[in-house]
Structure 1
Amino acid sequence: MALLGVLAISAAYWYVSPELPDVTTLKTVKLQTPLRIYSSDGQLISQFGEKRRIPLQFEQIPQPLIDAVLATEDARFYEHKGVDPIGILRAAFIVATTGKKSQGASTITMQVARNFFLTREKTYIRKVKEIFLAWHIEQLLSKDEILELYLNRSFFGNRAYGVGAAAQVYYGKDIQDLNLAQYAMIAGMPQSPSAANPIRNPQRGKTRRNVVLGRMLELDLITQQEYQQARNAEVSAKYHGAEIDLYAPYISEMVRDEMVAKYGEELAYTGGFSVYTTVDSRLQRLAQQSLRQNLYDYDERHGYRGPKAQLWQEEAWPQEQIIEYLAKQRREQDLTPAVVTQIEEKSATVLLRGGESIELDWDGIKWARAYVSDTRQGAAPKTVADVLTSGDLIWVRQQAGAWRLSQVPDASSAIVSMDPYSGALKALVGGYSFNQSQYNRVTQAKRQLGSNIKPFIYAAAIERDYTLATLVNNAPINQWDRRQGVAWRPKNSPDVYGGPTRLRVGLAQSINVMAVRALRHVGIDAAIDSLVRFGFDRSDMPRNESLALGSASATPLDVVTGYSVFANGGFLVKPYFIERIIDADQQMVFIAEPKVACSDCETLLAEQQVEPTNLTASTELGFALAVDEAIDDSEVTKVCPLPKERLADRVMSQQHAFLLTEAMKSAVWGGGNWSKKTGWNGTAWRAAQTVKRRDIAGKTGTTNEARDTWFSGFNPKLVTTVWVGFDDHNRQLGRTSWNNNLGQGQTMGAEAGAKTAGPGWNLFMRDALKGTPQVSAQVPEQVVSVRIDRETGLLSRNTDHTSRFEYFIQGTEPQEYVQSGEPEQTLFDQEEEQELFE
């Protein structure tokens, strides 16, 4: 009989051996793990992939969990050689005596064989293959390695694979932080992840858990007291999504697209890649908060559009019914659904999702005059009854610690912020809610630029021969178009004209007719060529004079890239958002090497005689010190450690970039002398009041009928663009009237870049730059400062309010002094008298 048994086994092996897979692949097995995306400082932003898995080393798996699994699945695991004869005989005896297969004979090694190489079909030939594979595995791997594979591969329901993921999915904790009852629950799930699922079927899950605890007690792996305490524990499992530290869906989707394009969909989602983005978690949160708050403010000044629904007309619902109804309502960003249950003259009681009852006071309601249209609002409410009624389903949010009536904004917005020297995106928000719309307005929405284009138009003019003191005629334009038979009459906003005006003032006050005349001076083709150098798409540039007023279209990412040229001293950097990629084996498979802006490096690369070797530590400016051992240590040479290929392309001289930056500082801080009644504000004066820094510069932008509003600006460390508008291009942002309930400080009149997009930029930059030292302007070589007359732009000997110091590139400064009492005015592109004042 023994001989027959040996022959039978040999025959079975001979029969199935051609079909047996190579188990040596287990040595290099790569478990499918999801794509994880992190901020630059290591906070998890998102993860993609059907399987949630957190691979663990054997040493990382707690002993109580190992004991629970072995007690339940394979108590003799460390004693048998892959197949347990005792277990097989026991299972066979039970089948023979009861006729039922109530106990399995598969060891953990056999389950590993099945999970990795075979199907789950219940056939005898599959079981034979399973046995032989188990023997092979035991010869190849140690017991601990086999158990590690099992614990990382097993399915636990709810897309959780492996005990590490199971701990996160069911308890929201790391595996080391669970208690005995929770270990027993996890250990009991692999055999029936659906039936014993503690979320779907808590009673059956508890029963299975207690069976596991009983086996542990029977094998003396736990004490009677531990057993009783764990057995009496309530089922604490509930579903936990991925442990996201920083919710940033728009940047996550950008990374996902990039990874799929780079590796293909299957490998990208299952290869266990960890992608570290350039996003700074603190700045990203500030950008999200600023965008939402700015949209709430816009929405509130345009009026209340009413409740989401009216739940009852006469007889109020019981509280249990309201709570049940609210449980089905989803939150939207920081808005919470609530139902009005009672109103007083100056307050309302509302029930929140979750059952908490709160009071809305008058300060959180009084803004809510009725919305009539984008350009009209109703009368200011006098009591709560003018706004709310019992049974209203509304939105509420917390602001400054108090609850406030709110609503989901109708308008859209985008904000993007980046490092102007490397192009690393530090914050990006493509809209109010990714749940509402996956459309990324930062990268996909091409909108008209309005006056946000003017710094680039003036840049072309200054590169030709203008200076900040050049007088350009601020007078009406009336140009006949023979082709269309109409006159083109661009207007200022407001429709006021002051005659010859210095370029600095024209840019800071966003004077339209001056920008048109500057464009004429440069020429349309030359201006378009200049815009293309700043990174804009030539196909989006209209070949007519409306270009000067911002009829060109661009995405916010295009705009922030263009403004970075001013911030970094003249270099065009390429935006990027992936810093590095690490594979499942913790190997670096990609690291970004962006071309960087560095004026010092540019100079050093041109001058250096020493190869970039034997360098001391790099300095913050991007260059290092090369020490020649043959000379005295005091004699050192500054050397740029970057190869020339890593230096971004220069598209504008450092001197011209400095001059344009200075002009945009005046857009924030204005000029003149208020005590002498000559003071004036730039269009971005609100930034001065909010951000309160002297190292910021920026420019507003508004298109015709306020369909698009912009604010772009920077300091030497950060450049940011904000856009606000409607996704429907035909819808205007409108205007608002005085709200008697709000008092001083409210925004009124037509929406514009300064009023609509600017506040979002101000909120973000105020907090983003908080705690960072102000950076003094570094005047480039060949830039001089001379005193000029404010009216004429000529040299002045006066030291009073009629003069100021102005920057010029050496050789372009005025050569004549203004004559006292006889102001001389040098006009560029001045039309004939009859055209100027028709």
Structure 2
Amino acid sequence: MPTYKKSRQTARTKKPPPPERRWSLGRLLSRLFLILFLVGLVAAGGISYYIYYHFSRDLPDYTSLKDFRPNLITRIYARDGQLMGEYFMEKRIIVPYTRLPQHLILAFLAAEDARFFEHTGVDFLGIVRAFIENVKAGEIVQGGSTITQQVVKSILLSSEKSFSRKLREAILAYRIDNYLTKEEVLYLYLNHIYLGNGAYGVEAAALEYFGKHVEDLNLAEAAMLAGLPKAPTRYAPTNNPLRAKERQTYVLNRMVEEGFVEPAEAQAALNQALTFKTSRQPGFDYVGYYTEYVRQLLEERYGRDPLYKAGFRVYTAADIELHRAAQEAVNQGLKDLYRRHGFRGPLKRLSAKEIDSFCLQQVKYQQKHPPLKGQLQTAVVVQPEKGRNCLVVRFGNEYGFLVQNPAPAPGMKVSEASNIVSRLRLGDVIQVRLQQKASGRQKWLVSVDPDPTAQGALVYVENHTGKVRVIMGGKDYRDSVFNRATQAKRQPGSAFKPIIYATAVEKGYGPGSTLLDEPISLPGGRRGELWTPKNYDNRYSGPISLATALARSRNIPTVRLLMSVGLPPVINLAKAMGLTTQIYPNYSSALGASEVSLFELTRAYSVFPNQGQLAAPILIERLEDRDGRILEEAEPHSRPAISQRTAQIMTELLVGVVTRGTGQKVLALRRPIGGKTGTTNNTRDAWFIGFTPSVTAGVWVGMDDERSLGAKETGSQAAAPIFIRFMQEALKNQPLEEFPSLPATLFASGRDRGVDDEASDDEAEEEEYDNPDEEAQAAVRPRPAINPNFFKKDLGE
């Protein structure tokens, strides 16, 4: 049947069903792994994106590196360009990339990041290599951070050890590598990195360790610096020379491995002996008082942060050689003072119970300022040394041997030093000079300082320009930073008298005006009693000329002169001449009872030879910022303080003090000099301030604790010799200058009867002018009458 056949045919032609597919275990696992891989890849991508997004959200602005301005040193220079001081938070000196020698760059690359020019900020191969090397060595000898990452850590991030910081560091390093050139990154790195001993950057380190600029470093020195970043303090050559040598060897070997140098070059560098020295100039200590005063001025004007961070370049008027001469003159004067009076005994004596507390007070200071060879230390005698002919002294937690026959201090003989030691007892507080560490024991050998509290100060200025060339505030800045020239306020004694005489001249007095040298009593003494001033010699001469009264530094005529002119005019004139301290409104000011600083009184004297003009003091001549822009530049400026006539008369009078009065010792300079001595009660202070037509110098000598300098230690005895020694150096190459309008005969010696060179300001015998011309002038000069109402007028009653 057709239908049947068709159906059969259809059945026969129908394809059989495909065989049942069976999954093998291997195929199943491979498919599963592929799926998991894809899922993991997606997850990793997502996590990576999340991590990148999370840790890059608050990253610092890396583009600021283009204009990065690190902290720099403020450097202070003397008038001749010599470096005389530095102030900084980070001791850094920026140098351009072009000044960096190739072997220095290669040394740092070999030590820190040999593939620096190949990677993109993060060196994964370097990380693997460092890991392998550290495993081999059993300690961390290599780091995985690139130079770019170190720049990020030191400038943009912190040194925190955490996984998140490392991720942020890597992200920034990659971005910076694509933003800055390799040379720019190296410039930042080599100028910013810390290299020990307070030095930041390769230039500061080169100066600190080798005393030379970075471009002058040889391969051996460059390799030594390149070994420091790992642990700057530990490997600093001045601290640990053996470890520093090990690091230098490592750096040189790495340079050979990387093909940066030939083996022979590396071996030669390794064998080279290195000399370590600092760039600190010997003159730093001479000008310490001047530099510190400049620092104070800068901090007042600009604040502390700019001073220590902005990298100012300060060009001053200071003269280093004159500072050296000033210190030598002051120290010689103090040695002479000691020879005249000997050892004055201990500063004080402590009981046995007080010794520990006294020394413990010194410990905190010594933690910041450890004792160093050559320093002066306040110490207390704690015991005799058994079996040895010496004493043991203690300062803080340190001990020293004060031997019976020590190397004597300057100005002492061995026998004198031995005598001092034999006089000391338990609990005596003395000052000692640290000589050296005792061999084999952590104790010092020390010598006694014979006159520890005796101090001197000296100031030297140019009259016309106001430039301050010398500020010597003590015998040694290393021993005491207190500036006795600017900070100390001491009674000037007779050195204040020229202010009173200048006031009188302004009111019409002249050199020949007559003053009365007779006893006087005034209200204002102690316990309501009368104040009765006296001359030093308790003698009185009756009427004498104003010139003689000043030349012989007589007290009573000066007090009477102050009564005549009045206190307010004297106080006003003192202010006009630059004195800022308070002048006491009483008649004892005639004898220098009001306290002044040496700096201000010296400037006041400069008015006389400067035709009555007070020049503004110039210490900073020019101030530049880090880019060389001038922030300030001083121009000489002066203002009238007294009339020209008064200045000329006062110059004549003060020249007379030198030629025929208490300042005759200064004639040893053999040139026209004017000046005035000064001595206070009980010879606590000795002064001499003198001038030529061009310059003025002031000297003060005294004890820090205001004890007496000793009998007859007057301005002529203690201060004038220092003035002479200093001025011999300061003026030795200067031409001889005459004061304007002064007759040459004024400097002739022998016409006037002189005074004893050892006499004090108030010991000299009075004497009238011997010059007939001067006597004639005295006859016509006015003698203002004393106002009968001066008590009410001057005392404000």
TM-score by length of 2: 0.74
Deviation at 1:829, TM superposition (A): 5.9
Deviation at 1:483, TM superposition (A): 9.6
Deviates more, 1:361-370 or 1:58-67: 361-370
1:607 maps to none
Aligned 8 A contact 1:561 1:574 in 2: no
Structure 1 residues 407, 65: CA separation in 2 closer, same or farther (over 3 Å shift)?
A: farther
Aligned 8 A contact 2:224 2:247 in 1: yes
Match of 1:720 among 694, 697, 702: 697
Deviation at 1:593, TM superposition (A): 4.2
Aligned 8 A contact 1:51 1:159 in 2: yes
Aligned 8 A contact 1:300 1:368 in 2: no
- For residues 177-326 of structure 1, the aligned pairs below 5 Å read 177-233=216-272, 237=276, 240=278, 242-243=280-281, 245-247=283-285, 248-304=287-343
Aligned 8 A contact 2:406 2:418 in 1: no
* Amino acid in the other structure paired with 2:456: S
* Amino acid in the other structure paired with 1:252: T
CA distance in 2 between counterparts of 1:721 and 1:426 reads 12
SS of equivalent residue, structure 2 residue 205: helix
CA distance in 2 between counterparts of 1:473 and 1:225 reads 93
Match of 1:451 among 494, 499, 507: 494
- For residues 373-412 of structure 1, the aligned pairs below 5 Å read 407-412=450-455
Q: Does 2:569 correspond to 1:590?
A: no
Q: Does 2:605 correspond to 1:563?
A: yes
Q: Does 2:614 correspond to 1:572?
A: yes
SS of equivalent residue, structure 1 residue 442: coil
CA distance in 2 between counterparts of 1:449 and 1:701 reads 6
* Amino acid in the other structure paired with 2:304: E
CA distance in 2 between counterparts of 1:700 and 1:533 reads 22
Aligned 8 A contact 2:602 2:696 in 1: yes
Deviations 1:400-445 (A, max 9, x none): xxxx997354312221122222333211122223344332222222
Aligned 8 A contact 1:199 1:237 in 2: yes
CA distance in 2 between counterparts of 1:165 and 1:12 reads 40
Q: Does 2:159 correspond to 1:120?
A: yes
Aligned 8 A contact 1:581 1:590 in 2: yes
Match of 1:803 among 760, 771, 779: 771
Deviations 1:377-409 (A, max 9, x none): xxxxxxx9999xxxx998699xxxxxx997354
* Amino acid in the other structure paired with 1:667: V
Deviation at 1:570, TM superposition (A): 0.9
CA distance in 2 between counterparts of 1:547 and 1:137 reads 71
CA distance in 2 between counterparts of 1:49 and 1:429 reads 23
Q: Does 2:736 correspond to 1:774?
A: yes
2:584 maps to 541
CA distance in 1 between counterparts of 2:260 and 2:465 reads 58
Q: Which has the larger radius of gyration?
A: 2
Deviates more, 1:272-281 or 1:99-108: 99-108
Deviation at 1:99, TM superposition (A): 10
Deviation at 1:198, TM superposition (A): 3.2
CA distance in 2 between counterparts of 1:705 and 1:370 reads 30
SS of equivalent residue, structure 1 residue 65: helix
Deviations 1:208-237 (A, max 9, x none): 211111111223332332222223345755
Deviations 1:538-570 (A, max 9, x none): 7332322x2222222211122112112112111
CA distance in 2 between counterparts of 1:692 and 1:61 reads 55
Deviates more, 1:489-498 or 1:138-147: 489-498
* Amino acid in the other structure paired with 1:66: I
1:606 maps to none
**Structure 1: gaps (5+ residues):** 309-326, 335-341, 344-352, 373-383, 398-403, 597-647, 671-681, 736-749, 781-788, 792-800, 817-824, 832-838
1:758 maps to 720
Deviation at 1:659, TM superposition (A): 0.7
CA distance in 2 between counterparts of 1:435 and 1:99 reads 47
Structure 1 residues 370, 18: CA separation in 2 closer, same or farther (over 3 Å shift)?
A: closer
CA distance in 1 between counterparts of 2:523 and 2:254 reads 95
Aligned 8 A contact 2:409 2:448 in 1: no
Q: Does 2:709 correspond to 1:666?
A: no
* Amino acid in the other structure paired with 1:518: L
1:601 maps to none
CA distance in 1 between counterparts of 2:328 and 2:242 reads 43
Deviations 1:445-504 (A, max 9, x none): 221121111111111111212111122233444568799675544322333433332222
1:26 maps to 65
Aligned 8 A contact 1:416 1:560 in 2: yes
* Amino acid in the other structure paired with 2:413: I
CA distance in 2 between counterparts of 1:59 and 1:469 reads 73
Structure 1 residues 140, 591: CA separation in 2 closer, same or farther (over 3 Å shift)?
A: farther
SS of equivalent residue, structure 2 residue 57: helix
Q: Does 2:641 correspond to 1:651?
A: yes
Q: Does 2:197 correspond to 1:158?
A: yes
SS of equivalent residue, structure 1 residue 713: strand
Structure 1 residues 829, 26: CA separation in 2 closer, same or farther (over 3 Å shift)?
A: same
Deviation at 1:362, TM superposition (A): 14
Match of 2:680 among 697, 703, 717: 703
CA distance in 2 between counterparts of 1:536 and 1:91 reads 69
2:547 maps to 504
Deviation at 1:778, TM superposition (A): 2.0
* Amino acid in the other structure paired with 2:653: A
| Amino-acid identity (%) | 37
Deviation at 1:43, TM superposition (A): 2.2
SS of equivalent residue, structure 1 residue 728: coil
1:471 maps to 514
Aligned 8 A contact 2:93 2:204 in 1: yes
CA distance in 2 between counterparts of 1:104 and 1:369 reads 59
CA distance in 2 between counterparts of 1:826 and 1:162 reads 72
CA distance in 2 between counterparts of 1:183 and 1:501 reads 78
Aligned 8 A contact 2:456 2:475 in 1: yes
* Amino acid in the other structure paired with 1:493: Y
TM-score by length of 1: 0.71
SS of equivalent residue, structure 2 residue 459: strand
RMSD: 4.4
1:679 maps to none
Structure 1 residues 198, 359: CA separation in 2 closer, same or farther (over 3 Å shift)?
A: closer
Structure 1 residues 484, 363: CA separation in 2 closer, same or farther (over 3 Å shift)?
A: closer
CA distance in 2 between counterparts of 1:330 and 1:688 reads 41
Deviations 1:699-720 (A, max 9, x none): 0011222122211111122112
SS of equivalent residue, structure 1 residue 773: coil
Deviations 1:685-738 (A, max 9, x none): 00112x2212x1000011222122211111122112111122223x22222xxx
Aligned 8 A contact 1:52 1:160 in 2: yes
CA distance in 1 between counterparts of 2:648 and 2:784 reads 24
* Amino acid in the other structure paired with 2:302: Y
Aligned 8 A contact 2:195 2:225 in 1: yes
Deviation at 1:48, TM superposition (A): 2.4
CA distance in 2 between counterparts of 1:358 and 1:98 reads 53
Structure 1 residues 100, 64: CA separation in 2 closer, same or farther (over 3 Å shift)?
A: closer
1:321 maps to none
Aligned 8 A contact 2:406 2:417 in 1: no
* Amino acid in the other structure paired with 2:260: L
CA distance in 2 between counterparts of 1:211 and 1:726 reads 57
Structure 1 residues 19, 532: CA separation in 2 closer, same or farther (over 3 Å shift)?
A: closer
Structure 1 residues 169, 488: CA separation in 2 closer, same or farther (over 3 Å shift)?
A: same
Deviations 1:589-642 (A, max 9, x none): 22234532xxxxxxxxxxxxxxxxxxxxxxxxxxxxxxxxxxxxxxxxxxxxxx
CA distance in 2 between counterparts of 1:528 and 1:393 reads 41
CA distance in 1 between counterparts of 2:225 and 2:282 reads 23
CA distance in 2 between counterparts of 1:103 and 1:385 reads 61
* Amino acid in the other structure paired with 1:567: P
Deviations 1:754-788 (A, max 9, x none): 111111112112211111112222239xxxxxxxx
Structure 1 residues 669, 130: CA separation in 2 closer, same or farther (over 3 Å shift)?
A: same
Structure 1 residues 256, 538: CA separation in 2 closer, same or farther (over 3 Å shift)?
A: closer
Q: Does 2:20 correspond to 1:52?
A: no
